[in-house]
Amino acid sequence: MSTLSQRMRFFANFGLFFTLLSGTLAVLFLMYIGTFTRYWADDFCFAVTLETAPNIFVAVWNSYSVWSNRYTNILLAGLLTMFGRGSILYAPALMIGLMVAASFLAIEQANQLFKSHLSRLTSAVLAVLLVFFTILQAPNRFQAVYWLAGLVTYFAPLIFWAVMAFLAFRGIQIQVTLPENRWVLAALAFLAFLAGGLSETTLTFQLTAFGLAILAAWFFWRGPQRRSALWIFGIALAFSLLALLVVFFAPGNAVRLSAMPKTTLSLDLFLLSFRFTWDFIANSLQDLALPSLVSFLLAFFLALIGGTRQPARFTAHFWLGIGSILLVTYLLIASMIAPSVYVYGRFGYPEARALFPARFVLTLALMLAGLSFGHFGRSFPLLWRTSTQSLAIICVIFLAVYPLRFIPKEYPALLQAQRYAQDWDKRNAYLLEQENQSVVLDGIESPGGLAELKSDSTFWINRCVADFYHIHSIAVFP
């Protein structure tokens, strides 16, 4: 039987729609929490840099030349707040929405290139679930998603990667070496360079990912597809290396490195990166066993019921694919942990927010593994029987309840975000009336473990807040 019966296809689509609805409602809830985002810590410095420069490009240069080598952060922060300070309220929701859209484009294009025979509805469901499970399992959700500085540093790369994946898959499919299709190369080069300026953590990921992609294209593709793939990944790697040079030679590096311990490359540091990678993966699967299992099983059953035809059976290719997923996932996560280890040595286990991209890679790997097992399972006639398909649909609907359970469980997080926003709004209204004054006031609790104002008016956050409100100085009572 090559296709599902019309009646069974109706029930399969019902299961897919229910899962899409469940995941969408959970993602919308996460987006709504984002509307209570306010300026905290580095956000004030970003705003001052942007508002005191004649244009956004001068602001980027000012930041790059005196403080940060992350030349795209300030650019992206400026774009997200280009309609005024109040637009920060909508930045997380906008970025989450863009991530869902970019993930859908990448998944759908991969579906076409690799002939996975998944329906477009299935691609949409997978995109929503990928974003939901990534945010759900974020090591520090506030700092990675609801804090502007973290949003543009550790969340934004995911969007760039998804769009670059879409362009790469599209370019391979349409033969990018043809003159009329070379726009893909230009777009990839531009995005690779921009994404490289977001964080050293994600830049090393890019370099590793494109390097591995070149090796994969050379060994596993033939003919025009290999030629197109080598051009695509070669250009992306070249402009990622250009970004590395820009990051490495940033004048502001001297200021930042002066406060960091001096380390040198060694075999011990290299091995430590892999040790920390193992710790991260093991701890993630242990501490987040349920959402990890649900994401894997949902992908597995979605592959079973979301296919449009029965695929051919390739046992050797299947096990090679599973092994590749495991190895590549490990290497990619290690590449993101390596910069922190290089700077801080044995104390260099990354901060929680810096592990957010690694969490995305691990979540993607679990779902890819589930899809692979489901795709392989669809090659067996037994799994195309009506009774088996009915059971798979029931399992999908049962598992799809999980995102719905997330909403009431995380409702206290919404109330907490509202309280933080109310406290911030009260202080904001007061400080707006204190222009050109010196202010000492009670401190407020900052969310997500972020640094806040101190009793020392010369503390860097105090100085940025004072400039933000155009007051002489600000401090809080000890």
Decide if pLDDT at 399 tops 50: yes
Domain shared by 131 and 279, yes or no:
yes
Domain stop point among 403, 426, 449: 403
Give the whole-angstrom CA distance, residue 279 versus residue 252.
33
Residue 194: per-residue pLDDT: 95
Instruction: Measure Cα distances from 69 to 73, 81, 156, 382 in Å.
Output: 9, 21, 16, 56
Q: What 8-state DSSP symbol labels residue 433? A: T
Q: Is residue 46 part of a domain?
A: no
Q: Return the pLDDT at 68.
A: 82
Answer yes or no: is pLDDT of 105 > 50: yes
Average per-residue pLDDT for the chain: 88
* Alpha carbon distances (Å) from 112 to 55, 132, 182, 204, 477: 42, 24, 20, 29, 61
Give the three-class secondary structure for 306: coil
Contacts for 321 with CB less than 8 Å, ≥ 6 apart: 372
From the CB of residue 428, how many other CB atoms can be counted at a distance below 10 Å? 15
- Distance (Å) of CA 66 to CA 27, 61, 63, 163, 252: 38, 9, 6, 31, 4
* Inside any domain, residue 306: yes
Q: Which of 137-141, 248-252, 440-444 has the lowest mean pLDDT?
A: 248-252
Q: Looking at the predicted structure, is the pLDDT value of residue 385 above 60?
A: yes
Looking at the structure, do residues 304 and 329 belong to the same domain, yes or no?
A: yes
Burial class of 436 by CB neighbour count within 10 A (0 to 12, 13 to 18, 19+): exposed
Same domain, 357 and 468: no
286 CB-side CA count, 13 A = 6
Q: What is the pLDDT of residues 183-218, one digit of tens each?
A: 889 999 999 999 999 998 999 999 999 999 999 999
pLDDT grade, residue 384 (50/70/90)?
low
Average pLDDT score over residue span 82-101: 95
Residue 147 is assigned to a structural domain of this protein: no
Both tokens of 398, joined, read 């049962």
> Are residues 395 and 352 both part of a single domain?
yes
% of the chain exceeding 70 in pLDDT = 92
Average pLDDT over residues 286-307: 91
Position 20 pLDDT exceeds 50: yes
- Report which of 203, 188, 150 is spatially closest to residue 353, judged by C-alpha positions: 150
Residue 426 pLDDT class (50, 70, 90 cuts): very high
What is the reported pLDDT for 4?
53
pLDDT at position 166 is 96
With cut-offs at 50, 70 and 90, classify the pLDDT of residue 2: very low
Query: Counting beta carbons within 10 angstroms of the beta carbon of residue 175, is it exposed (0 to 12), middle (13 to 18) or buried (19 or more)?
Result: middle
The pLDDT assigned to 129 comes to 97
CB 256 within 8 A of CB 68: yes
What counts of helices (H) and strands (E) characterise the chain?
Answer: 21, 2
Which amino acid is residue 223, in one-letter code? G
Residue 222, pLDDT score: 83
State pTM to two decimals: 0.92
169 and 309 share one domain: yes
Exposure string (b/e) for 277-288, b if CB count within 10 Å is 16 or more?
A: beebbeebeeeb
**Last residue of one domain, picked from the residues 347, 381, 403:** 403
218-237 tens-digit pLDDT = 988 888 888 888 999 999 99
Q: Rounded CA gap, 136 and 294, in Å?
A: 12
Could you give the percent of the chain with pLDDT greater than 90? Answer: 63
Q: What range defines the domain where residue 227 resides?
A: 6-23+105-141+152-403
Neighbouring CB atoms inside 10 A of 106's CB total: 23
Q: What is the pLDDT of residue 386?
A: 66
Q: Based on the domain organization, do 262 and 197 belong to the same domain? A: yes
**How sure is the predictor about 65, in pLDDT bands with cuts at 50, 70 and 90?**
confident
Q: Kindly state whether residue 393 falls inside one of the protein's structural domains.
A: yes
Read off the pLDDT of residues 147-158 as tens digits, 9 standing for 90 and up: 999 999 999 999
Indicate whether 114 pLDDT > 70. yes
| Residue 172: how many other CB atoms lie within 10 Å | 24
Judged against a pLDDT cut of 90, whether residue 432 lies above it is answered with yes
Residues 258, 387: one domain? yes
Query: In the structure encoding, which two tokens stand for residue 191, read together?
Result: 């995005």
Residue 213 to residues 207, 254, 267, 317, Cα–Cα distance (Å): 10, 34, 25, 17
Same-domain pairing of 360 and 426: no
Listed in sequence order, the DSSP H helices in 222-352 are 223-248, 253-257, 267-287, 289-305, 315-344
Residues 381 and 423 in one domain: no
Q: Is the pLDDT reported for residue 116 higher than 70?
A: yes
pLDDT reported for residue 316: 63
Percent composition of the chain: helix, strand, coil (DSSP 3-state, to 5): 75, 0, 20
Residue range 259-273: average pLDDT?
71
Confidence at 21, pLDDT banded by 50, 70, 90 = very high
The CA distances from residue 20 to 24, 108, 126, in Å, are: 6, 15, 8
Contacts of 2 (CB under 8 A, 6+ apart): 309, 310
Amino acid identity, position 353: R
Q: Is residue 287 part of a domain?
A: yes
Q: Which of 358, 381, 403 is the last residue of a domain?
A: 403
For residue 17, is it within any domain? Answer: yes
Considering the domain architecture, whether residues 340 and 380 belong to the same structural domain is answered as yes
Q: What is the pLDDT averaged over residues 42-71? A: 91
Across 329-356, average pLDDT? 87
Q: What is the pLDDT of residue 264?
A: 64
- The closest of 81, 130, 77 to 101, measured between CA atoms, is 130
Tell which residue, 183, 316, 200, has the closest CA to residue 247: 200
In which band, very low, low, confident or very high, does the pLDDT at 259 lie, cut at 50, 70 and 90? low
Q: Per the domain annotation, does 394 fall within a domain?
A: yes
Residue 467 and residue 377 share a domain? no
Q: How many independent structural domains does the chain possess?
A: 2
Identify the CA nearest to 41 among candidates 476, 459, 470, 343. Answer: 459
Burial class (CB in 10 A: 0-12, 13-18, 19+), 327: exposed
Q: What is residue 30's predicted lDDT score, i.e. its pLDDT?
A: 96
Contact indicator for 234, 316 with CB cutoff of 8 Å: no
Q: Residue 87 domain-assigned?
A: no
Instruction: Give the 3-state DSSP-derived string for 21-55, with helices as H, strands as E and coil as C.
Output: HHHHHHHHHHHHHHCCCCCCCHHHHHHHHHHHCCC
Residues 344 and 457 in one domain: no
Q: What is the pLDDT of residue 348?
A: 75
Q: What would the mean pLDDT of 373-393 be, rounded to a whole number?
A: 73
Q: What is the CA radius of gyration of the chain?
A: 24
Whether 8 has a pLDDT exceeding 90, the answer reads no
Mean pLDDT of 278-295: 94
Residue-wise pLDDT for 172-182, tens only, equals 888 776 776 78
